[in-house]
């Protein structure tokens, strides 16, 4: 290899392939809070982010569901007015959470080689609000009223692109779109970039803002959403025998991942390690999971394998459990196959609702904080455990547990399965 070729080669090389991946920054905006700390505190306090939708359109349209988990802090209260107008709501939350994570990491655009900085932010749907609003303008006042920013605002890669441009990231900007597994798959993608020596730092996670008429109507017609409108805070009930469907949420979760040697060289604080990842697909049905949990268990097993972990190492699983009749139990079947009956489970969607493409990223952050603080949040509204669940599911109050390793599950329509294995720093 010539000197010129050697200098142009990725810095990771073989050393990067074996180096550990660590998390050095966290950011989020959710139905429970406008940042990570407020979200985590509210989750531990047993609060719910679910309420009657603030707008009147669900009732005006005759939808059977008019509850959701809307953001606790409106993006317009955080972003400058002009910037907010140029971004779809999905892009707004991605930018907000990314700025938090970047600041939390202690990095700056001057301290990272842009050729060694990547961004991976997934979304399940993208700019739903922009698509609906601009179509209304086209069919009403006409073409002249349609924004020239329509396509950049509705495209699913918009959140990743805006963050990548702001950070001047040039190692690659990617946008996995795998339904409700998108945010977790983005984190898995970041892991692969770092392990392959393509980057030293990757900003990764998920964003979603799809509490919109067409999305709600579609889910309602599919009969997947809770209709417990009279008691919004009790509507999302993962693992509970009386659950009647999920509650739609919105938000973003972003983390900064680094090669461990890079983080330690700059004296960064380290939350946890992303020890291993696993991805798979069911090849079974567009909306229903394989009832045997085969694909889900393969993803979990792969996360253990890539992380050099045994099933006995996993003390906790942060579950995807959405509060649907089939999905919750199927996940526990897969956990039993891949890990066993010993892990303690929890399901944050009881409090946060289902943030679709952002869910896996936000719940990965919850998993990291569980390891850091040695506490597992309770599953909200779990009063009568489904008899098909044999695991110990935390309910009522948070539980203090000494965790060395924990798994975060995320699954999506289309049969997408992602498992992330985190260990203490």
Best CA proximity match to 164, nearest among 105, 115, 106, 111: 115
Alpha-carbon span 203 to 91, nearest angstrom:
15
Contact 39, 111 (CB under 8 A): no
CA distance 343 to 311: 9
Cβ(132)–Cβ(212) under 8 Å?
yes
- In the three-class reduction of DSSP (H, G, I as helix; E, B as strand; rest coil), residue 181 is classed as helix
Output the six-digit token pair for 212.
């919109």
Given the residues 90, 180, 220, 319, the one annotated as active site: 180
Nearest to 239 by CA among 350, 343, 367: 350
Question: Which candidate, 408, 367, 355, 352, places its Cα nearest to that of 123?
Answer: 355
Query: 174-207: string of b/e by CB count within 10 Å (b at 16+)?
Result: bbbbbbbbbbbbbbbbbbebbbebbbbbbbbbbb
At residue 377, φ and ψ (nearest 5 deg) are -65, 150
Active-site residue 180, yes or no? yes
CA distance 316 to 318: 7
Task: Please choose, from the candidates 118, 135, 125, the residue with its C-alpha nearest in 3D space to the C-alpha of residue 155.
Answer: 125
Tokens of 45: 């306090």
List the catalytic residues. 180
């Amino acid at each position: 290899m010539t000197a010129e070729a050697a200098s142009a080669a990725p810095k990771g090389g073989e050393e990067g392939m074996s180096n550990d991946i660590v998390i050095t920054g966290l950011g989020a905006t959710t139905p429970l809070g406008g940042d990570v700390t407020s979200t985590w505190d509210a989750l531990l306090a047993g609060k719910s982010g679910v309420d009657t939708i603030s707008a009147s359109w669900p009732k005006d349209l005759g939808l059977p569901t008019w509850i959701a988990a809307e953001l606790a802090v409106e993006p317009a209260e955080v972003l400058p007015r002009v910037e907010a107008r140029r971004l779809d709501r999905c892009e707004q939350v991605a930018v907000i959470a990314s700025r938090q994570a970047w600041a939390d990491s202690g990095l700056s655009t001057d301290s990272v080689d842009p050729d060694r900085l990547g961004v991976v932010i997934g979304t399940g749907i993208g700019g739903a609000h922009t698509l609906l609003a601009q179509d209304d303008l086209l069919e009403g006042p006409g073409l002249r009223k349609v924004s020239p920013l329509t396509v950049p605002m509705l495209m699913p890669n918009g959140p990743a692109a805006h963050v990548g441009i702001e950070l001047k990231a040039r190692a690659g900007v990617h946008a996995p779109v795998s339904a409700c597994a998108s945010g977790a798959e983005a984190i898995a993608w970041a892991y692969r970039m770092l392990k392959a020596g393509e980057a030293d730092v990757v900003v990764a996670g998920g964003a979603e803002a799809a509490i919109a008429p067409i999305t709600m109507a579609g889910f309602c017609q599919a009969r997947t959403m809770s209709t417990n409108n009279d008691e919004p805070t009790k509507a999302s009930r993962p693992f509970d025998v009386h659950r009647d469907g999920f509650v739609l949420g919105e938000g973003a979760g972003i983390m900064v991942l680094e090669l461990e040697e890079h983080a330690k060289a700059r004296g960064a604080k380290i939350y946890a390690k992303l020890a291993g990842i696993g991805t798979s697909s069911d090849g079974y049905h567009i909306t229903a999971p394989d009832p045997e949990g085969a694909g889900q268990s393969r993803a979990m097993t792969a996360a253990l394998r890539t992380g050099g972990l045994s099933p006995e190492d996993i003390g906790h699983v942060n579950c995807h459990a959405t509060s649907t009749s089939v999905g919750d139990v199927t996940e526990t079947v897969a956990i039993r196959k891949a890990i066993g009956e010993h892990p303690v489970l929890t399901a944050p969607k009881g409090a946060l609702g289902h943030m679709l493409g952002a869910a896996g990223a936000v719940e990965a952050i919850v998993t990291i904080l569980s390891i850091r603080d040695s506490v597992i949040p309770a599953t909200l509204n779990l009063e009568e455990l489904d008899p098909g669940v044999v695991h110990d599911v935390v309910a009522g109050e948070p539980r203090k547990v000494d965790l060395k390793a924990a798994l975060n599950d995320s699954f999506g329509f289309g049969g997408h399965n992602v498992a992330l294995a985190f260990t203490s720093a």
